[in-house]
């Protein structure tokens, strides 16, 4: 029989990290699905163009697959970057996604528990008074922002290769990275993702003023009044 | 919290590793 303490610890690990593990596994499954569907669609296009079909391995190492993945990644990281930074200065009265209306801005050191107001259990860099506190105070937005820029750059590089592959198929001159950045293809891929992210955030913020999801921290408690802001369920 | 720390590192590694992979693909014109 296994040690009951071990069993408790093991169950705790899965339960304590269920949100990350659930969404992480979902990501891998859906990425695999995208790879299969993308491979089939790519081969259909090759057949239409009278070219030879390619294997799954070749598709997974192709710039066509890469640009399709990275264009979606960049928009998701942009969404969270804007959300993290935007919610410092913008509020929505009545939304649990917003902080309370009177808290607009970076808030006081006391409210943020930094410097002299750090507690025993605060992260170490929160208790410092130099560049480490400044850096740590911005670390979430900075990392999300960096991941957005890196993904967008990867989209532009992979998009250049994929776009040129198509141009060469049609016996057209390939374009350089700089020219691709000014191309309709790059901005069409970019903006079609951005618009959906911005719509989803705006909808989430305003819908959560009047609608509820019992038990979700993204919602206010079911019985909370419509006017209460920054309350988690 | 050890498991959580590992997940944190794994998440960043998957994202940065994935982006590195895609950048190599794009940069080598595959």
Q: CB A63 to CB B25 under 8 A?
A: yes
Interchain contact, A153 vs B7, CB within 8 Å: no
**Is the separation of the CB atoms in A113 and A126 below 8 Å?**
yes
In this structure, are residues A60 and A196 in contact, taking their beta carbons and an 8 Å threshold?
A: no
Residue of A nearest to B1 (CA): A13
| Chain B residues with at least one Cβ partner in A under 8 Å | 3-4, 7, 11-12, 15-16, 18-19, 21-23, 25-27, 29-30
Percent of chain A residues topping a pLDDT of 70: 95
Residues B7, A151: C-beta atoms closer than 8 Å: no
Q: Residue A70: which of B4, B7, B22 has the nearest Cβ?
A: B22
Position A9 scores a pLDDT of 54
Q: For A9-32, how does the pLDDT look when each residue is reduced to its tens digit (9 = 90+)? A: 556 888 999 999 999 999 999 999
A173-222 confidence digits (pLDDT tens): 999 999 999 999 999 999 999 999 999 999 999 999 999 999 999 999 99
Both structure tokens of A175: 């374009």
Residues in chain A: 233
Q: Are B22 and A71 in contact (CB under 8 A)?
A: no
**Complex-level ipTM beyond the 0.90 threshold:** yes
Q: Which residue of A has its CA nearest to B2?
A: A13
CB–CB contact B26 A161 (8 Å): yes
Q: Which of B12, B18, B26 sits opposite A157 (nearest CB)?
A: B26
Q: Is residue A216 a contact partner of residue A94, using CB atoms and an 8 Å limit?
A: no
Q: What are the angstrom distances between the C-alpha of A226 and each of A89, A101, A133, A175?
A: 21, 14, 36, 54
Residues A216 and A103 sit within 8 Å (Cβ to Cβ): no
How do residues A102-150 score in pLDDT, each as one tens digit?
Answer: 999 999 999 999 999 999 999 999 999 999 999 999 999 999 999 999 9
Distances (CA, A) of A111 to A120, A122, A140: 15, 13, 18
Q: Provide the token pair at B11.
A: 């998440």
- Looking at the partner chain, which of A20, A69, A164 has a beta carbon nearest the beta carbon of B22? A69
DSSP string, A62-117: SHHHHHHHHHHHHHHHHHHHHHHHHHHH---TT-TTS--GGG-SS--HHHHT-GGG
Which residue of B1, B25, B27, B29 to mutate against A (max A Cβ within 10 Å)?
Answer: B25
What CA–CA distance (Å, rounded) separates A135 from A124?
12
Q: How many angstroms separate the CA of residue A92 from the nearest CA in chain B?
A: 30
Say if residue A2's pLDDT is above 50. no
The answer to whether the predicted template modeling score (pTM) of the entire model surpasses 0.95 is: no
CB A36 within 8 A of CB A59: no
**DSSP structure class, residue A3:** -
Could you tell me which chain A residue has the CA closest to the CA of B5? A17
What's residue A125's pLDDT? 98
Residue A1 — very low, low, confident or very high, per pLDDT cuts 50/70/90?
A: very low
Please answer whether residues A124 and A136 qualify as being in contact, where contact means their C-beta atoms are separated by less than 8 angstroms.
no
Residue identified by tokens 């290769």 is A161
Radius of gyration of chain A (CA): 23
pLDDT grade for B2, boundaries at 50, 70 and 90? confident
Q: Do B3 and A69 touch (CB under 8 A)?
A: no
């Amino acid at each position: 029989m296994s040690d009951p303490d071990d069993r408790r610890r093991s169950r705790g690990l899965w339960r304590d990290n269920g949100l990350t593990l659930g969404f992480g596994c979902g990501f891998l499954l859906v990425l695999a699905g995208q790879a299969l569907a993308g491979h089939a669609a790519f081969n259909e296009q090759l057949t239409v163009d009278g070219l030879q079909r390619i294997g799954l391995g070749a598709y997974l190492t192709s710039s066509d697959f890469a640009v399709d993945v990275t264009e979606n990644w960049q928009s998701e990281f942009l969404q969270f970057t804007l959300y993290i930074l935007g919610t410092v200065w913008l509020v929505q009265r009545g939304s649990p996604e917003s902080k309370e209306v009177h808290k607009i801005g970076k808030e006081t050191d006391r409210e943020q528990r930094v410097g002299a107001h750090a507690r025993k259990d605060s992260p170490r860099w929160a208790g410092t008074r130099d560049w480490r506190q400044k850096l740590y105070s911005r670390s979430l937005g900075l990392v999300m922002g960096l991941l957005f820029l890196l993904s967008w750059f990867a989209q532009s590089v992979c998009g250049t290769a994929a776009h040129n592959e198509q141009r060469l198929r049609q016996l057209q001159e390939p374009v350089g990275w700089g020219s691709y950045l000014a191309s309709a293809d790059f901005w069409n891929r970019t903006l079609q993702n951005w618009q959906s992210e911005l719509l989803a955030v705006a909808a989430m913020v305003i819908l959560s003023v009047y609608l509820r999801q019992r038990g979700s921290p993204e919602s206010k408690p079911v019985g909370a009044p419509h006017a209460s802001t920054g309350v988690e369920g | 919290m050890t498991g959580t720390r590992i997940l944190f590192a794994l998440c960043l590694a998957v994202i940065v590793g994935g982006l590195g992979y895609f950048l190599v693909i794009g940069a080598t014109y595959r």
